[in-house]
Amino acid sequence: MSTRSFDSLDRIIGEIDKIIKMLSVPPRASRDIPEACPAAALQEAERAESVRLMRVNHSGEVAAQALYQGQALTARDPKVKSAMQQAAAEEIDHLAWCEQRLKELKGRTSLLNPLWYFGSLSLGAFAGALGDRASLGFTAETEKQVESHLRDHLERLSTRDLRSRAILEQMTHDEAQHGAKAASMGGKALPFPITWAMRATSRLMTRGSYWI
């Protein structure tokens, strides 16, 4: 009597489980949240701005999880697939740190996160389907844009919000490493229309999550 293989079904169920957990279960970091010297109490306007900026960063990490998940799904080379999964695991820390900081600031996560997640999952799967070098190039460009975006937020945060600043500084360091690794693995430069579209999409997500 032959044994029926459930490999494909198991894989689908596993991916659905990832989606459910990402959107409903609080993430758990493997590293402690970056520490900072005790900061002065924030004024209401400073606190509100920190909430908005950290909400944007939290949404960015939700999108990053979906991008890596989609790219891993369609990766051809097992090494590329493993690299995507490892990067996603490392960035869980960022997601957890942003969520914890939002709670400390008495803020909330974006109501649009499910939209960003499913849109990014599709985009990641498409990037992976274009080939491993294109997918790695997509990762390198994404991390480059995220690093720029984080540096902008560091300039906009109150100088008294040392805790949020410590988180974003560590995230900036990690994103630079992820981008460099993708490039070193053979990621190819993307044509200008694609990088422009990526920036436009990022601006849409940033503005949406800033307010909603």
CB < 8 Å & 24+ apart, contacts of 119-122: 119/63, 119/66, 120/62, 120/63, 120/64, 120/66, 120/67, 120/70, 121/19, 121/66, 121/67, 121/69, 121/70, 122/70
Encoding tokens for residue 165?
A: 């600043």
Mean pLDDT computed over 55-59: 96
Question: In this predicted model, what pLDDT tens digit does every residue of 193-208 receive, in sequence order?
Answer: 878 888 888 889 999 9
- C-beta neighbour count of 44 within 10 angstroms: 7
Q: Is the pLDDT of residue 121 over 70?
A: yes
Report how far residue 139's alpha carbon sits from residue 143's, in angstroms, rounded to the nearest whole number.
Answer: 6
**Ordered domains of the chain (ranges, CATH):** 42-211 (1.20.1260.10)
End-to-end CA distance of the chain: 56
pTM, rounded to two decimals: 0.87
